Amino acid sequence: MNKKEIGLKNLAKIDGAAAEVVFDSLKDLAPDLNNLMLKFAFGTIYERGVLNFKDRELITITSLLTQGGCENQLRVHIQASLNVGLTQEEIIETFIHYAPYVGFPRVLNAIFVAKEIFTDRK
72-113 pLDDT, tens digit per residue, is 999 999 999 999 999 999 999 999 999 999 999 999 999 999
Are 76 and 17 in contact, with CB atoms under 8 Å apart? no
Distance of CA 86 to the CA centre of its chain: 12
Q: What is the pLDDT of residue 29?
A: 86
Which pTM value belongs to this model? 0.88
How many Å apart are CA 18 and CA 72, to the nearest integer? 12
Confidence of residue 11 (pLDDT cuts 50, 70, 90): confident
CATH 3.30.70.260 fits 51-122, yes or no: no
Are 114 and 44 in contact, with CB atoms under 8 Å apart? no
- Model confidence pLDDT, tens digit, residues 14-67: 987 777 777 777 788 888 888 888 899 999 999 998 999 999 999 999 999 999
Are 61 and 77 in contact, with CB atoms under 8 Å apart? yes
How many Å apart are CA 103 and CA 105, to the nearest integer? 6
Domain limits of the chain? 1-50, 51-122
